Structure 1
Amino acid sequence: MTGRIRDTARAAAPAAPRPAVGRRPGRPSPPSLPARVSAAARRIDEATPPERDRAVDALRAWAILGVVLGHWLVTALVVPAGARPELHTASPLQYLPGLTPFSWAFQTLAVFFLVSGYVTTRGRLSAQARGVGHGPWLRRRLARLFRPVAAVLALWTVVAVALLLGGAEPGTVRTLVKLALSPLWFLLVLAALTAATPLLTRLHPVWPLAVVLHVDLLRFGFGAPGLLGWINLPAGWLVPFTLGAAWARGELCGRRTGWALLAGGAVATAGLVVLAGYPASMVGVPGAAVSNLNPPTLAAVTFGLAQCGLALLLREPLRRAMRRPLVWAAVALANLSAMTVFLWHQTALMATTATGLLAGRLPGLHTLPDHPGWVVARLAWLPVFALALMVCWAAFHGWERTTGRRGARAVHPGADDAPHPRVVG
């Protein structure tokens, strides 16, 4: 009987695994790719300081994603047929006005400035607490902001000269360079607001909002010169920036403020579009008489207030979502590469467009965006743009993550606003 039980147990027991060919017996097999990714995500999650507000990083990732996808969807580089065609830009919003609501989803600059105001104010207050003066703090911050720009400027200087020497049409070169360097306006505005942070931390958002209101009244109501509108470039983005500063001071904790901004901003924007004739598109449309972004109009600012309200309402749901290690790791890594992605996403689009010309004029890439089929084709190109952007990231992300000190590896942009626990310097 005992022998039968022993035989049954022996038969039920799993056979010992045979060692794989070429592997020493007893050496454990390497973990699978999902297991390695999960382990890396847990390490990032465990290394993040518990006091960090992860919702801030999630909002910044949302803003970056909106800008990148928005540009990729509405920027068409049209290559006309001909021996020496001159490339020009177009937008599906010119020909398919029914797509206008999509501009509301992908125009996320107000969220970017909201987060920037929060982060910059927190960073300045933290520096003050450590006894760091405004000058050293500002120099370090601007160095982190503009260091990656040097690579973009250097590459496109070489590309522009090479294209002109190679016989490219000057109009084509001008279009490409303008598109590649278009993200820099944002950095200039952000740098100016960062430099003025000590003066802005207590500024109420109603004051820059009043400036935008009066500038638009003079432009559109009394026929003032259009150049006056450029006052709205700093004033318009100062509104969400000062909201972020108020958030950093703990003044926007309740959900009531979020609902008031969301509802008030949405109603005001709808009224300006329907009753005052402002464009419904929240991004620029080539050939339009008025752009809501270039320079910012009152409608763009009120729309931004609605977005800021939504962002404030999403803080708690985002904090809960960021407790998942995989989700948080993805957001943290996106934030560490935010500047590289922002600066190079247009270059990725243009590199794909230029490479595609080797196969001829391709739909959704070189053709006029004047029918729904173009939109479908452009959606199919998005993964290719993303792959090209990954190549740019691999080549240039070191400019974002290294300091001026040799051998130092910095995690931008510091303990007060970066999702990584280690900080150099």
Structure 2
Amino acid sequence: MKTSTPVRALVRRIEARTPAHRDRAIDGLRALALLAVPTGHWLLGGFTRSADGAIHNASPLSAFGGLAPVSWFLQMLGIFFLVGGYASVLSFRRHEGSTGAWLKGRLARLGRPVLGVTAVWAALLPLLHHGFGVPGDTLRTASTLVIQPLWFVGVYTVVTALTPLCVRAARRLGVWAAAPLLGSVAVVDFLRYGPYADAMPSWLSVLNILPGWLFAYQVGVSWGEGRLNRRHAWGLLIGGAALFAALLVWCGYPMSMVGVPGETRTNSHPPSLLVPALAAAQSGAAILLRDRLGRLLRRPALWAPVVVINLSAMTVLCWHQTAMLAAAIPASYLGGASGAVPGLVGAPDSVGWILARLAWMPLFAGLLVLIGRYARGFESPWTRAGAVRRGLAGVLAAGFAVFALGLA
């Protein structure tokens, strides 16, 4: 009973500080989408060990194609963009200053944690390599994983900057403002996968990055503007699910929503038409379940974790791969000659690996909490950081990006 007292006190304190007008359902959806990111990366990502002791990326999806539907439920970035659009409308409406000042504040909140994690890793790389003898290929694998979720921040930054345009489009066209974005992705997919695919340039797929992710954000903006009702939500749910199924069954789209090593096509990097189709279905379901979720989160014990997760959103996004690597890199030295530690290092090609990985995931979560105690400071305004320190962090971050992208 004594150990639970601080937790109960925290729950009561969070409940007491929550404004009556707070939209708990929106925060709940954001927390759910956020938790899906580390869960997906931890569950569907693995490592093999080469003869020189270096670890390399692998995925159980290569051996277990039947796990692909799991990625449908863990790929919840559509919900994240939906809620982001909704919340941006409310924030934009409340802001009393210029649009530029509003954007500057929003973008700074996204940029500080990214700058922090990349600067820290830039300092860690030489220490791990020269101080502890970690192989260079291991560091490249780690750098790739650390930078992997940060593409989202870049896209989200651009999308956020387009909020004023999205608001104007929503006020004029309502939920239909998102339709041209869906059509744009469909046209690009037809060109790159259709009968003339061999004649198309390789960079064509890049054209899908912005409309593919802006689709759900625009739906969220229309929702925030009050231009989306339950009839529209049912249309999104049914239409999105039907399009999603048609693309899989008749159009030959890959089953997995995430990239699988060895496959030439991927649905998410850059997004294919399957991404906005899934986002439409998820958005429709989220809008329909909003009131029920809001009532559920009136319970203080359920609401408190949502608040904690939302307050640490960028920390979770930026540091969850580091938490997994903090377990996997030391484990690569503990597996004897083979270097295999079930569920951590070793080919993810057996049911035993899957069960072992599930058993390791609480450790990843614990490491993330521990890292977050120190890393969460990057989310706060750097009021005490002078120009020299900010400049140094920027240089370190740039150096890490060059290394991670294979440019050095």
Q: What TM-score, normalized to structure 1? A: 0.84
Contact conserved, 1:344 with 1:389, CA < 8 A, in 2? yes
Structure with greater helix share of residues: 2
Report whether the alignment pairs 1:140 with 2:140: no
Aligned amino acid, residue 363 of structure 1? P
Match in the other structure for 1:10: none
**356, 380, 383: which one aligns with 1:405:** 383
Residue 237 (structure 2) pairs with residue 228 (structure 1): no
* Residue aligned with 1:359, SS: coil
Does 2:187 align with 1:214?
A: yes
**2:53–2:332 CA contact under 8 A, matched in 1:** no
CA–CA distance in structure 2, aligned partners of residues 46 and 162 of structure 1: 45
1:183: Cα distance to partner? 1.3
Q: Report 1 or 2 for greater relative contact order, CA contacts < 8 Å, sequence distance ≥ 6.
A: 2
Q: State whether structure 2 residue 159 is matched by structure 1 residue 184.
A: no
The aligned runs of 1:309-348 (5 Å cut-off) are 309-348=284-323
Q: Give the Cα–Cα distance (whole angstroms) in 2 for the partners of residues 33 and 378 of structure 1.
A: 29
Change (3 A) 1:33 1:86: closer
Partner residue, 2:366: 387
Worse-matched range after superposition: 239-248 or 162-171: 162-171
- 8 Å CA contact 2:47–2:348 kept in 1: the answer is no
Choose which of 117, 137, 140 in structure 2 pairs with 1:152. 117
The DSSP-based 3-state class of the residue aligned with 2:57 is strand
**Contact conserved, 2:116 with 2:378, CA < 8 A, in 1?**
yes
Question: What are the residue-to-residue correspondences of 1:109-120 with 2, within 5 Å?
Answer: 109-120=77-88
Aligned-pair CA distance for 1:350 = 0.6
The answer (yes or no) to whether the contact 1:60–1:112 under 8 Å persists in 2 is: yes
Greater radius of gyration (CA): 1
Contact 1:202 1:246 (C-alpha < 8 Å) held by counterparts: no
Question: Is contact 1:72–1:349 with CA below 8 Å preserved after alignment?
Answer: yes
- Distance in 1 between residues matched to 2:88 and 2:235, nearest whole Å: 24
Determine the structure 1 residue equivalent to 2:218: 242
The TM-score normalised by the length of structure 2 is 0.87
Unaligned runs of 5+ residues in structure 2 are 170-176, 386-408
Query: Among residues 38, 60, 77, which one is paired with 1:68 in the alignment?
Result: 38
How many residues matched?
370
For 1:416, the equivalent position in structure 2 comes to none
Q: Find the aligned partners of 2:319 and 2:143 in 1 and give their Cα distance.
A: 12
Tell whether 2:89 aligns with 1:121: yes
Match of 2:282 in 1: 307
For the residues of structure 1 that align with 2:265 and 2:351, how far apart are their CA atoms? 25
Shift of 1:337: 0.5
**Displacement after TM superposition at 1:52 (Å):** 1.4
Deviations 1:201-220 (A, max 9, x none): 23310111111011111111
Cα deviation per residue 1:292-327 (whole Å; 9 max; x = unaligned)?
A: 001100012101111111111221111011111111
RMSD between aligned alpha carbons? 1.7
SS of the counterpart of 2:4?
A: helix
1:91 aligns with 2:91: no
* Aligned-pair identity (%): 44
Q: Which residues of structure 1 form unaligned runs of 5+?
A: 1-30, 408-425
Specify the SS of the correspondent of 1:367. coil
